[in-house]
Amino acid sequence: MSSSARDRVRTLLKTTGWLQTDIDTLGNDADLYVAGLTSHATVTLMLALEETFDVEFPDSLLRRRTFSSVDAIVEALAEIGVNTEAV
Protein backbone atom coordinates (compact mmCIF):
# COMPACT_ATOMS: atom_id res chain seq x y z
CA MET A 1 0.00 0.00 0.00
CA SER A 2 1.36 3.39 -0.87
CA SER A 3 1.77 5.78 2.01
CA SER A 4 -0.19 8.99 2.32
CA ALA A 5 1.43 12.40 2.20
CA ARG A 6 0.76 12.69 5.92
CA ASP A 7 2.75 9.51 6.59
CA ARG A 8 5.59 10.66 4.40
CA VAL A 9 5.74 14.00 6.22
CA ARG A 10 5.80 12.15 9.54
CA THR A 11 8.58 9.86 8.29
CA LEU A 12 10.58 12.89 7.18
CA LEU A 13 10.19 14.48 10.62
CA LYS A 14 11.14 11.23 12.32
CA THR A 15 14.31 10.52 10.38
CA THR A 16 15.80 14.00 10.64
CA GLY A 17 16.99 15.62 13.82
CA TRP A 18 14.74 18.67 13.58
CA LEU A 19 12.46 17.89 16.50
CA GLN A 20 13.43 17.37 20.09
CA THR A 21 10.30 15.32 20.74
CA ASP A 22 9.68 11.97 19.02
CA ILE A 23 7.10 12.57 16.30
CA ASP A 24 5.39 9.29 17.23
CA THR A 25 4.28 10.88 20.47
CA LEU A 26 2.79 13.91 18.67
CA GLY A 27 -0.59 14.26 16.98
CA ASN A 28 -1.02 15.68 13.50
CA ASP A 29 -2.13 18.99 14.97
CA ALA A 30 0.71 19.26 17.52
CA ASP A 31 2.75 22.47 17.36
CA LEU A 32 6.09 21.49 15.85
CA TYR A 33 7.76 24.66 17.14
CA VAL A 34 6.85 23.68 20.70
CA ALA A 35 8.42 20.30 19.84
CA GLY A 36 11.71 22.04 19.08
CA LEU A 37 11.53 22.93 15.38
CA THR A 38 13.71 26.02 14.90
CA SER A 39 13.38 28.74 12.27
CA HIS A 40 16.65 27.49 10.85
CA ALA A 41 15.36 23.93 10.53
CA THR A 42 12.13 25.17 8.94
CA VAL A 43 13.99 26.15 5.78
CA THR A 44 15.71 22.75 5.66
CA LEU A 45 12.34 21.08 6.20
CA MET A 46 10.88 23.08 3.32
CA LEU A 47 13.73 22.04 1.01
CA ALA A 48 13.29 18.38 2.05
CA LEU A 49 9.55 18.59 1.36
CA GLU A 50 10.22 20.10 -2.07
CA GLU A 51 12.59 17.24 -2.84
CA THR A 52 10.30 14.52 -1.49
CA PHE A 53 7.14 15.72 -3.23
CA ASP A 54 8.80 17.31 -6.27
CA VAL A 55 7.07 20.64 -5.72
CA GLU A 56 8.06 24.26 -5.13
CA PHE A 57 6.56 26.32 -2.34
CA PRO A 58 5.46 29.75 -3.60
CA ASP A 59 6.44 32.89 -1.67
CA SER A 60 2.94 33.15 -0.27
CA LEU A 61 3.43 29.90 1.66
CA LEU A 62 6.91 30.72 2.95
CA ARG A 63 5.95 31.62 6.45
CA ARG A 64 6.16 30.08 9.85
CA ARG A 65 2.52 28.98 10.03
CA THR A 66 2.85 26.75 6.94
CA PHE A 67 5.17 24.42 8.85
CA SER A 68 3.61 24.65 12.29
CA SER A 69 2.08 21.12 12.35
CA VAL A 70 1.84 17.97 10.25
CA ASP A 71 -1.70 18.98 9.30
CA ALA A 72 -0.59 22.47 8.27
CA ILE A 73 2.17 21.02 6.09
CA VAL A 74 -0.23 18.57 4.42
CA GLU A 75 -2.70 21.39 3.84
CA ALA A 76 0.02 23.46 2.17
CA LEU A 77 1.08 20.51 0.03
CA ALA A 78 -2.52 20.04 -1.09
CA GLU A 79 -2.68 23.74 -1.93
CA ILE A 80 0.25 23.39 -4.33
CA GLY A 81 -1.17 20.37 -6.06
CA VAL A 82 0.09 17.32 -4.17
CA ASN A 83 -2.40 14.47 -4.01
CA THR A 84 -2.38 14.17 -0.25
CA GLU A 85 -4.61 11.10 0.02
CA ALA A 86 -2.21 8.56 -1.46
CA VAL A 87 0.89 8.90 -3.59
Q: Pick the binder of another protein from 5, 13, 46, 82 (CB under 8 A).
A: 46
Query: Is position 54 an interface residue for another protein (rule: CB under 8 A)?
Result: no
**Which of 62, 75, 83, 85 is the binder for another protein (CB under 8 A)?**
62
Q: Is the dihedral of CA 55, 11, 75, 34 positive or negative?
A: negative
Return d(Cα 31, Cα 64) in angstroms, integer: 11
* Binding-site member from 14, 36, 83, 85 for another protein (CB under 8 A): 36
Q: Residue 86, interface with another protein (CB under 8 A)?
A: no
**Residues 63, 43: Cα–Cα separation, whole Å:** 10
